Structure 1
């Protein structure tokens, strides 16, 4: 048997000042990301306030990891946040496109 471990869970932390993680300062925002596969991820267990610039940075970093759509529940409503990464066109089995 050959075992492969896939990194599918990330913990994100946000700091008010640059270098907060390296200096082990208290974080202002914390959240988890579960990579669902097929270019999708779920952001959950978020605590704290995120400004627009930080939100765009999160989407940019997710796109770098191959995510085109992040699923988020806000105030009881499921939302899809798009990172800007192109969503691949689905093809039927055996077709190349």
Structure 2
């Protein structure tokens, strides 16, 4: 959607924003974190989880849920870090 006119943005806003989101997601996924940065994110998440779920008063359901959703939570934190790096690279 190069050289899109303003009126096309208004009339086809859903398509325009969908394409913009895809482009942004692609650019964010191209941001590379070093192995050390990824390990630091995992270490931080592990420490927080141990502190919050295992050392305090907890419900067994919370612990099981955390374990089952572990990869998604780590991936989400890595993506957030990539977004931050990408955002700072724009300025």
Q: The TM-score by the shorter chain falls in which range? A: under 0.3
TM-score between the two structures when normalised by the length of structure 2: 0.24
Per residue, is there more helix in 1 or in 2? Answer: 2
* Greater strand fraction, Structure 1 or Structure 2: 1
User: Higher relative CO (CA 8 A, sep ≥ 6), structure 1 or 2?
Assistant: 2
Q: TM-score of the superposition, structure 1-length normalised?
A: 0.23
Asked which structure has the greater CA Rg, the reply is 2
